[in-house]
Amino acid sequence: MIEKIKKLARIKLANNDDAHGFIHVERVANLAEEIRKHEGGDKLIIATASYMHDWCTSKGRAYHVGEEAMREIRADLTTLNFPNDSGSLEAVIDAIRNHEEYDFKKAGKKFSKECQILQDADRLDAMGAIGIGRCFFTTAKLNEPFGTPEDMSKLGEDYSVGQITSGVRHFYTKLLNLKDSMNTEYARNLAKERHDFMVEFLDRLKLEWLGKI
């Protein structure tokens, strides 16, 4: 089943940019599987949700976790004869629908282990060496500036989720906060390492910018 989903994902995600395309969801699936080995959860649900979580991202950020996107994913899973004996199809939908929930802990809702692992894996892929690459790739695509050492601070109240003001600024408004948002212990450890690498990168960026090294 996972192979069938992977095959369809290559076709479906062909229009997504590389930060949300097949190469991203494959990394998320690999990370999610590593987390699952330590934290538990259903293997098939986690793998399927990982490959399909950005199914409709090319149609917009809000759309991809909305009900229309969920209908499309449900229809594709049904076509693939995804097993739905114990509610696993709806568990996939549920994980995808909630993976972007930013106030995950504060929301007061109980999200499934599978959803928590998907969210951790998706956020880990925005961190570390891959995260740095994705950040500047996305910034360039959005025609945002690269940024300067002056951007090495948070923006105030006027910042909204999804907004990028420069590549360098994006670390301070989003990427450096991700390590504190992990749901599982295993992901928290990976996040710490990836976070430290980004901090090291930014320290170097500043020194190189100033011609010091």
Determine how many CB atoms are found less than 10 A away from the CB of residue 95: 28
Write down the least CB distance from residue 170 to Fe ion, Å. 16
Residue 122 CA, distance from chain mean position? 3
Instruction: Check binding of 54 to Fe ion (CB under 5 A).
Output: yes
122 versus 151: smaller Cβ distance to Fe ion: 122
Question: Count of residues binding Fe ion (CB under 5 A)?
Answer: 2
151 versus 184: smaller Cβ distance to Fe ion: 184
41 versus 151: smaller Cβ distance to Fe ion: 41
Instruction: Check binding of 120 to Fe ion (CB under 5 A).
Output: no
> Residue 77 is which amino acid?
L
Write down the least CB distance from residue 20 to Fe ion, Å. 6
Token readout for 49 is: 């949700």
Query: Residues of 8-19 as b/e, b for ≥16 C-beta within 10 angstroms?
Result: bbeebbeebeeb
Of 150, 122, 130, 137, residue with least CA distance to 197:
130
> Residue 176 is which amino acid?
L
Tell which one of 42, 114, 120, 122 touches Fe ion (CB under 5 A): 122
CA distance 191 to 71: 33
Of the listed pieces 109-117, 120-128, 157-165, 198-206, which binds Fe ion according to CB under 5 A? 120-128
Binding string, residues 22-51; x marks residues near Fe ion by CB under 5 A: ------------------------------
> Residue 191 is which amino acid?
A
Binding site for Fe ion (CB under 5 A): 54, 122
